[in-house]
Amino acid sequence: MKTIWFVSHSAMPPHLAMRVRTNLMAKYLKEKGYNVYVIGASTIHNTDINLIEPGDKRKYIEKEYDGVKYIHVKASNYTGNGLKRIRNMLEFPIHLYQIRNEIKDKPDIIIGNPQSVFGVIPYWVSRKLNAKYITEVRDLWPESIVVYKGFSRKNPIIWMMYRFEKWIYKKAHRIIFTMEGGRDYIVDKGWDKDIHMSKIHHINNGVDLDIFNKNKQTNIVEDEDLDNDDIFKVVYTGSIREANNVRKIVDVAEAIKNKEYKDIKFLIYGDGPDKKVLEKHCLENNIDNVSFKGHIDKNKIPYILNKSDLNIMHFRQSSLKKYGSSMNKMFEYLASGKPSISDCKFGYDLFTRYKAGLSIDNANVDELAEGVLKFYNMDEKEYNNYCENALEGAKDYDYKALANKLEEVILTLDD
**Domains within the chain, CATH numbers bracketed:** 3-206+399-412 (3.40.50.2000), 209-396 (3.40.50.2000)
Percent of all residues in the chain with a pLDDT value above 90, rounded to a whole number: 88
Q: What is the pLDDT of residue 237?
A: 96
CA 313 to the chain's CA centroid: 14
CA distance 162 to 170: 12
Query: Would you state the pLDDT for residue 42?
Result: 96
pLDDT over threshold 90, residue 17: no
Note the pTM of the prediction, 2 decimals: 0.95
172-201: pLDDT as tens digits = 999 999 999 999 999 999 999 999 999 999
Beta strand ranges found along 195-331 (DSSP E)? 200-202, 232-237, 264-269, 290-294, 310-313
> What pLDDT is recorded for position 116?
67
* Segment 329-333 mean pLDDT: 97
Q: What are phi and psi of 226, to 5 degrees?
A: -60, -35
User: What is the predicted pLDDT for the residue at 81?
Assistant: 82
pLDDT of residue 73: 97
Q: In this model, does residue 415 exceed pLDDT 90?
A: no
pLDDT tens readout for residues 316-328: 789 999 999 999 9
Does residue 21 register a pLDDT over 70? yes
Longest C-alpha distance within the chain, in Å? 69
| Whether the predicted pLDDT of 123 surpasses 70 | yes
pLDDT per residue as tens digits for the range 209-237 = 999 999 999 999 999 999 999 999 999 99
pLDDT for residue 102 is more than 80: yes
| pLDDT higher than 80, residue 119 | no
If one compares 296 and 118, the residue with the highest pLDDT of the two is 296
- Continuous segment of H or E residues that includes residue 341: strand 340-342
33 φ/ψ sector (left φ>0, alpha ψ -120 to 50, else beta): left
Burial of 156 (0-12, 13-18, 19+ CB in 10 A): exposed
Distance CA 101, CA 113 (A): 20
